[in-house]
Amino acid sequence: MTYQSFLYCSILAIIFFFTNTSSAHRKNLTVELIHRDSPHSPLYNPHHTISDRLNAAFLRSISRSRHFATKTDLQSGLVANGGEYFMSISIGTPPSKVLAIADTGSDLTWIQCKPCQQCFKQNSPIFDKKQSSTYKTESCDSKTCHALSEHEEGCDASSNICKYRYSYGDQSFTKGDIATETISIDSSSGSPVSFPGTVFGCGYNNGGTFEETGSGIIGLGGGPLSIISQLGSSIGKKFSYCLSHTSSTTNGTSVINLGTNSIPSKPSKDSTVLTTPLVQKDPENYYFLTLEAITVGKTKLPYTGGEYSFKKSKKITGNIIIDSGTTLTLLESGFYDDFGAAVEESVTGAKRVSDPQGVLTHCFKAGDKEIGLPEITMHFANADVKLSPINAFVRVTEDMVCLSMIPTTEVAIYGNLVQMDFLVGYDLETKTVSFQSMDCSGNL
């Protein structure tokens, strides 16, 4: 059993393969993913141990989760450097390559632009809008401008240019112009697939904790200005991803699929397709599901948590956010007490110990016997998703494993460790999310 894969959720080093569907206007795109800590990543540090990378990912999860529930002047409620993936695209005419954080919890895509009033350091050249023949600003009274929330929207009345301003939970920020550009994606044939007139933010005042590797943020959330929403008709309002567990032979290859063929429509010989409603609620850029219960071994525990309100007598739909950018899964703290106790009772061949880093709550160290881990099933509305031990537990040392779920007093989050080796499909037309168990390393 390989556990290095728990780390593998960070850089979208993207290669798109393009095919036409039966509709002349719809496309299917497959995106190859490379983890930020793999040797192929620009962030790879050979001096970091597996434990170093795990702990860093866990801390990013906690930082990111603390701001999901924030209702103040935040764009996505996240720390700016909290995303687990980067995405490579081209923008402008002629095209310029950019690498930016890919975030399923963000709406507007933005990148750094010249001339900078203030820009954070980035390794690649900063986008120069004056060198592009397809760059066009949006007016203050445009529909696009009004799609921004009140605290995000601004206007330069003298030039009639729509402005945006975003702040993040760690005091990072970006400000700039709302504009449209041609976004291009490389295809397997070598000919780029272009999407003209794509709305994005051209940021000329940006700062905070952004890494030098990236140029900004690519929004993959459910809001009207996200890339997913803007490409809606051309991709049939459907996308999916398959995050793999890595091994020495696969190097953690994962994919994102855009288009009508991306959603599993029928079960395979080895697994069924489980579908649960996608709940529409504020903020609309987040993807909400309803978690009804969790089974540990043979013990089924009704989930009593709800977003922003944790009253055990009240069942709330849309009580957990599914997010590919958060590593751990976070569950309401009142429910977690009983859940953790059930897990501890079900683990065999090991004794409970403390996490040396103080992040994870339920860790178990092996004795003379092999550790026996319980099967955990997540009961979403109409979908019972069975997790393998390598989804629900993380091996932090050779003789110690820890539960990949922790308590929270904020909104619950279904993180990426429990999603690995599932094809997770989003159908924004039918408003559903589907799960199909599969070996994601063979999904290309």
* Beta strands 383-387; 376-380: pairing state: antiparallel
The pLDDT assigned to 64 comes to: 57
Q: What is the pLDDT of residues 224-280, one digit of tens each?
A: 999 999 988 888 899 888 887 644 334 456 777 878 778 877 666 667 999 999 999
Sorted by sequence, the CB contacts under 8 Å of residue 239 that are 6+ apart come out as: 220, 228, 256, 257, 258, 259, 262, 425, 426
CATH topology for 4-242?
Cathepsin D, subunit A; domain 1 (2.40.70)
Provide the annotated active-site residues: 103, 323
Q: What is the pLDDT of residues 188-222, one digit of tens each?
A: 445 667 899 999 999 999 998 787 878 888 888 99
The pLDDT assigned to 287 comes to: 95
- Measure the CA–CA gap between 95 and 442, rounded to whole angstroms: 31
Give the single-character DSSP code of 372.
B
| Residue 418 φ/ψ, nearest 5 degrees | -75, -10
Q: Where in the chain is the domain with CATH 2.40.70.10?
A: 4-242, 264-442
Q: Tokens 């977690």 identify what position?
A: 336
The pLDDT assigned to 96 comes to: 93
Q: Are 181 and 91 in contact (CB under 8 A)?
A: yes
pLDDT at 42 over 70: no
pLDDT at 327 over 70: yes
| Residue 360 φ/ψ, nearest 5 degrees | -90, 145
Give the end-to-end CA distance of the chain in Å, rounded to a whole number.
22
Mean pLDDT over all residues of the chain?
A: 79
pLDDT at 444 over 60: no
Low-confidence winner among 56-70, 309-323, 340-354, 363-377 (lowest mean pLDDT): 56-70
Sorted by sequence, the CB contacts under 8 Å of residue 398 that are 6+ apart come out as: none
The pLDDT assigned to 355 comes to: 86
Q: Are 214 and 86 in contact (CB under 8 A)?
A: yes
- Mean predicted confidence (pLDDT) in 4-25: 36
Q: How many degrees, rounded to 5, is the angle at CA 134 between CA 128 and CA 137?
A: 75
Low-confidence winner among 24-28, 75-79, 210-214, 421-425 (lowest mean pLDDT): 75-79
Low-confidence winner among 111-120, 243-252, 318-327, 334-343 (lowest mean pLDDT): 243-252
Taking the CB of residue 358, how many other CB atoms lie within 10 A of it?
8
Sheet strands (E) in 273-338: 273-277, 288-289, 291-296, 299-302, 320-322, 329-332
CATH topology for 264-442?
Cathepsin D, subunit A; domain 1 (2.40.70)
Q: Are 7 and 44 in contact (CB under 8 A)?
A: no
The pLDDT assigned to 291 comes to: 97
* Beta strands 173-185; 85-91: pairing state: antiparallel
Q: What is the pLDDT of residues 340-353, one digit of tens each?
A: 999 999 999 999 99
The pLDDT assigned to 56 comes to: 62
| Residue 343 φ/ψ, nearest 5 degrees | -65, -50
Give the single-character DSSP code of 129.
G
Distances from the Cα of 5 to the Cα of 15, 173, 437, angstroms: 21, 32, 16
Q: What is the pLDDT of residues 72-91, one digit of tens each?
A: 222 233 333 445 567 778 89
- 36/147: higher pLDDT: 147
Which conformational region is residue 390 in: left (phi greater than 0), alpha (psi within -120 to 50 degrees), or beta?
A: alpha
- Mean predicted confidence (pLDDT) in 25-40: 56
The pLDDT assigned to 253 comes to: 60
Low-confidence winner among 112-121, 146-155, 372-381, 424-433 (lowest mean pLDDT): 146-155
Q: Are 313 and 276 in contact (CB under 8 A)?
A: no
